[in-house]
Amino acid sequence: MKPVSNRKALRKLSAKIPTRPEIEAILDDLNKESDLAVAITGTALAESALERLLQSKLHYRDAEFENQLFQNRGPLADFNGKILVAQAFGIVTSPIAEELHSARAIRNVFAHSKIPLTFAHEAIEKEILALRMGTAIRQHAMKAPFPVVPGLGIKSFTDGMTSRSWFLLTVRLLLIILDELAESPLTADKAIAAVLGN
């Protein structure tokens, strides 16, 4: 007798979105994991936050309908589709979409590479250095005065950061931004303008 396939349960398990405390625990644990685990799990967390954001903006909420959107071959089943739709409808800004696309590209290269990779690989480092959030932090650090107490300023924080550290920081920042946008009834541009006081 042929064993019963467990694929439906596996798909359901992979679609489970972690709670905020679970996300924090996962991110903390990633510091001890391989670069492969960091790239795949960190990006999976960003994708799940984007999915939560998209779900928060739906005007029609029905479990079966959401399954059709986000599961199997639905239009929002893959990360790229989620990013494109979120950007097209103003749910995320273009710069946030670009950060998400970079995380997706980094995840994909780790997931599909036939050779062992690390965040120190030249092509991966180049993609991480191009991330806007990291660039903004580094530019601010260069302009910031040296701290009065050594080791407590932004310069000392950024000096020792590796590509892996920058990737994890970007994921954390994306999670915060996406969660905040999910709480706001405004479009991404208007929500960000409201926070900045514009």
* Whole-number pLDDT of residue 147: 53
Does residue 103 sit within a domain?
A: yes
What is the domain range of residue 39? 20-196
Helix H, strand E, coil C: the string for 85-115 is HHHHCCCCCHHHHHHHHHHHHHHHHHHHCCC
Does residue 156 sit within a domain?
A: yes
Alpha helices, H only, 31-149 = 35-56, 63-70, 79-88, 94-112, 122-129, 132-143
Alpha-carbon dihedral 107, 113, 119, 125, rounded to 10 degrees: -90
Count: domains in the chain: 1
Query: 87-128, pLDDT tens digit by residue?
Result: 999 999 999 999 999 999 999 999 999 999 999 999 999 999
Does residue 170 sit within a domain?
A: yes
| pTM reported for the whole predicted model | 0.84
Phi, psi angles (nearest 5°) of residue 70: -105, -10
Does residue 2 sit within a domain?
A: no
Does residue 14 sit within a domain?
A: no
Which CATH number belongs to the domain containing residue 50 in this structure? Answer: 1.20.120.330
Query: Does an H or E element contain 189, and which?
Result: helix 188-196
Does residue 10 sit within a domain?
A: no
pLDDT at 131 over 60: yes
* Whole-number pLDDT of residue 161: 87
Question: Rounded distance, CA 163 to CA 181, Å?
Answer: 27
Q: Which of 19, 43, 41 is nearest to 29 (CA)?
A: 41
* Whole-number pLDDT of residue 4: 66
Does residue 48 sit within a domain?
A: yes
Does residue 12 sit within a domain?
A: no
* Whole-number pLDDT of residue 154: 47
